[in-house]
Chains A and B, each alone.
Chain A
């Protein structure tokens, strides 16, 4: 996602990350600015907008909540295990909602679990996203009309990415994390009025 404009003047390398505002993209403004920044040996100066930097950080570190409800949780464990190693794309399992960005709803949501799931979602700090993993979390699947099952987790929390399958493969979940990175990228661009 990152495109740099590289300015090399006055002995300092300035990398300018793309910005939606034309004024900011006026590179000459930063040449003077770069002079006043203390230069470390081999160091570079990166100039960007806060929105862009935060979106980049969020997209590259979707820490997810350890939240297994049924057999899809096994695939969640595979994804974070040594073979598939989701930490490559920044996804780390966290044990508390306070430290999580993404809630992966892995499995069948029952009516009794629903308020607890909602509370965990409310405890997560903004910004937050939800991945519905598996057909049970998407629609209830073959438990749809069972007396104790919620027909789809999107009745309780807003879902950003749906991963179909019964259960989905770990590759599917990794793909969902990459989809989520694109969504996060789009979100800030829409907010900043970037047309792409």
Chain B
């Protein structure tokens, strides 16, 4: 799979072949991969490297078992990257998880809410600057759930 036309550089210095790309071009690359048989998005995640955040994608071609690792850097203080949830629907929850734990904002995501932590949680705990001894009052009465069900409004396609 040749991705050079999208300005992708190849890096195999760590023993794994990584394709380094520019963050705003992820949608073009994902569309191209989808058209070329990469039908499975294994994961979307992020890593906090202190100076910057690294967003990692793994695309797999289920017929040929070919894998493509995609990696990009985005600034920690303004971590924005376009979403691919409409191209790969499986990215929806993966992007929500990366937002929840690392604060990566996926622009254009249909429903960017916390997925693992409670809705009133403050901060993104997998960031390196997150305090280890957090201050959070765990006691919630049962009635607290009534106002914090975290259920999205029902959206169903009319056919």
Contacts and interface: CB of A to CB of B under 8 A. Distances in A.
B115 to A, nearest CB: 10
B133 A114 contact: no
A111 B136 contact: yes
Given A111-B118, A155-B138, A147 B125 contact: yes
B156 interface: no
B130 interface: yes
B140 interface: yes
Interface bin, chain B: 10 to 19
Contacts of A118: 139-142
A150 B142 contact: no
A122 interface: yes
A115 B125 contact: no
A26 interface: no
B134 A114 contact: no
B116 A147 contact: no
B117 A115 contact: no
Contacts of B138: 109, 111, 114, 150-151, 155-156
Interface string A119-154: 111110000000000000000000001011011000
A23 interface: no
B-side interface mostly: loop
Given A148-B116, A148-B125, A115 B133 contact: no
A155 B139 CA distance: 7
A118 B117 CA distance: 17
Interface in B99-135: 116-118, 121, 125, 130, 132-134
Nearest to B119: A112
Contact of B145 (A109, A119, A145): A119
Contacts of A115: 140-142, 144-145, 148
A44 to B, nearest CB: 45
Contact of B133 (A111, A145, A148): A145
A94 B30 CA distance: 49
Nearest to A109: B138
B117 A111 contact: yes
B139 A112 contact: no
B118 A119 contact: no
A111 B142 contact: no
Given A115-B145, A156-B138, 15 more contacts: A111-B118, A111-B136, A112-B117, A115-B144, A115-B148, A118-B139, A118-B140, A118-B141, A119-B145, A120-B142, A121-B142, A147-B125, A148-B116, A155-B138, A155-B139
Shortest beta-carbon contacts, A-B, top 3: A119-B142, A147-B125, A115-B140
17 contacts: A109-B138, A111-B118, A111-B136, A112-B116, A115-B141, A115-B148, A120-B142, A122-B141, A123-B142, A145-B134, A148-B116, A148-B117, A148-B125, A150-B138, A151-B138, A156-B138, A156-B139
